[in-house]
Structure 1
C-alpha cells in the first residue's frame, strides 16, 4: 500500500474514533428536558432571563434609566429571542446534517452520531419552545431577509461550509450559556436549559470541528478563501438575528433609542469579541480566517 493510502486509512480510523467516543459520551451523558426541567415551578419575579451583563443594553445610559422590573423583563425577552433564534438555526442544522448523511454507510459511527445529534437538536428545540412559553415570551423570528438567505443556505451548503455554519452558531451560544447556567440571579428554568444545552452541544461542536478538518484536507487556497467568506457571512446573520429589536417595545422602551444605544454599546462589543475568541482561534487554525472573512467578523464585533 502507498504512503498516501496508509495516511488516508489512518485519517479514516481517527475520524471514526472521534465519532465512537462521542457516541459513548451521548450514551452516558444525555438529558431528557421533559424530566430534568421543573416546568411547573413558578418563576421568581426578581430573577433575570440571563445575566444582566449579557443584556444588549447593559452599560448604556438607557440601562441606567430603566426600572428593576424593566431590566428583568428585558432580559427575559432577550433570552427568549435568543432561544427562538436557536430553534430557527437548529432546524437549519438538522436539515443540513440529514442531507449530508443521505445514503451514507449506516454502520459508520459518524452516521450514527449524526443521527444522535439530530435527535439532540429536536429535544433542544422543544425545550427552548417550552421555556419561551413558560416565560410568556412571544416568538421572535429573524428578519425576512435572513429567513430567505437561510433557506438557500440550508439547501445548498455542504462540507466545511455547512459544518462551519453549525459551529459558529453553537460556539457563540455556548459561551453565553456557560455564564447563564452559573448565574445566581438567573431564572432556574434558564439555568437548567442552559446546562443541558452546554453539555450536549459540546459533543456537537467536537463533531463539527472534526468534520471541518476532514472536509478541508488537501483543499487549496481558493476553496478556503471562498468557504471562509460564506462561514463569516453566516456568522454575521446569526449574530445580528439573535436579539430581535421588538424586545425593547415589549418592555416599554423607545425602540429607536434602544437600537441606537445598542449599536454604540462598547460593553456589548467587548462581550461579543470575548465570546468569539475560541471560535476565531479554530477558524485561524483551519485556514478559514482570511482577510475578507476577518472584515466581516469585525463588522459584527466578533474580532
Structure 2
C-alpha cells in the first residue's frame, strides 16, 4: 500500500467522501439564500400570530395552557421561539470553532475543506438572521445558565472528530424537524416561517456533511472508541436539549415559573414531540453504532427516545 493509501486508510477518507463534499458544494452554489433580502424585515407582525405552532409550545396540552389567555399563548410562543433561536446562535458559535479547528492545516484544495468553510459562512448568516428576528419580535436574549455555558466552553475546546460532528448533528436534526412544521404554520409569524425555510434548506447540507464526517471518522474505530463517542454525543445532546427553552419565557407570559416548569416536566405531549423531533437522529445513531446502554439512558432522560 502506498504512503497516500496508508494515510487515507488511517483517517478513513475515501473518494466517496470527496464526492459527498463536492455534491454539497454544488448544492450550496445553486440553492443558498441571503436573509437580508429574502425576508421582509419591515413588515408588521400581526398581533394574533404565534411564534411557533402551538403544538410545539412546551406547555401545549397541559392544564396551564388551557387556563392561559390567547394573548399569553401568543406571547409565550414568541418568547419560546426566540429562546430556541438564541440557543441556536450559542451553539452555532461553538460549531464554527469546532469545524475551524478540525480543518486547521488541511488541504485547502479539497472539497471537504471548501465545504467546511461554506458551512461556517452559512452559520454566520443564520446567527445574524436569528438575532435580527428576535430583535424584530422584541424578545431579549435568553442565555444558558453559567453551568451550561461552561460546559459549552469545555465541549468546544475538547471535542474532536466524531464527537464534534455528533454534537453538531444533534442540534441540527432536532431543530430541523421543528422548523419544517413552523414553516408551514398558517398561524405562525411570517418572519419565523421565512427564517425556518432558509434554515431547513441550508442545514440539510450541513446534516449530510456531519453524517458523512461521523461515518468517516468511525470507519475503523473499535468498540471502546464507539462507546466513548456515543456517551460524549449523548452528553452534548443533554446540554443542548435542556437549554433550548429558558424558564424566563414563562415569566414573560405572566405565568408562575415554578408551576410552568413543573407542568412541562410532566407533559406527555411534550415528551412525544421531543421523540418525534429525534426520530431520524436516533435512526442514524443506531446505524452508526452510537446507541449504547449508557447513551440510551441519557436520551431517555431528555425524552429523545
TM band (smaller chain):
over 0.9
Deviations, residues 157-201 of structure 1 (Å, cap 9, x unaligned): 000000000000000000000000000000000000000000000
TM-score (norm 1): 0.97
Per-residue CA shift, 1:44-81, capped at 9, x if unaligned? 00000000000000000000000000000000000000
1:73 aligns with 75
Structure 1 runs of 4+ off > 4 angstroms?
4-11
- Normalising by structure 2, we get a TM-score of 0.97
Match of 1:171 in 2: 173
| C-alpha contact 2:12 2:219 (8 A) present in aligned 1 | no
Deviation, 1:251, is 1.0
RMSD: 1.5
d(CA) in 1 for partners of 2:38, 2:221: 44
Structure 1's unaligned 5+ residue stretches are none
Give me the whole-angstrom Cα distance separating, in 2, the residues matched to 1:33 and 1:277.
Answer: 29
Give the unaligned 5+ runs of structure 2: none
- Map 1:127-206; keep pairs closer than 5 Å: 127-206=129-208
Aligned length: 302
The structure-2 alpha-carbon separation of the partners of 1:291 and 1:29, relative to structure 1 and needing over 3 Å to count, comes to: same
CA contact (8 A) 2:12 2:220 kept: no
Shift of 1:274: 1.1
Select the residue among 249, 252, 255 that pairs with 2:251. Answer: 249
C-alpha separation between the residues in 2 aligned to 1:278 and 1:172?
A: 9
* CA-CA distance at 1:10 after TM superposition: 10
Deviates more, 1:186-195 or 1:4-13: 4-13
Residues 49, 187 of structure 2: 8 Å contact kept: yes
In the aligned structure 1, how far is the partner of 2:12 from the partner of 2:92?
Answer: 32
1:214 is matched with which residue? 216
In the TM superposition, what is the alpha-carbon distance from 1:11 to its structure 2 partner?
Answer: 5.3
Report the Cα distance in structure 1 between the residues aligned to 2:246 and 2:69, rounded to whole angstroms. Answer: 21
For 2:63 and 2:72, the matched residues in 1 are separated by 14
**Correspondence 1:37-116 to 2 at 5 A:** 37-116=39-118
The offset of 1:143, in angstroms, is 1.2
| Structure 1 counterpart SS, 2:14 | helix
Q: Which residue of 2 aligns with 1:295?
A: 297
Alignment match, 1:223: 225
Alpha-carbon distance in 2 for matches of 1:212, 1:11: 11
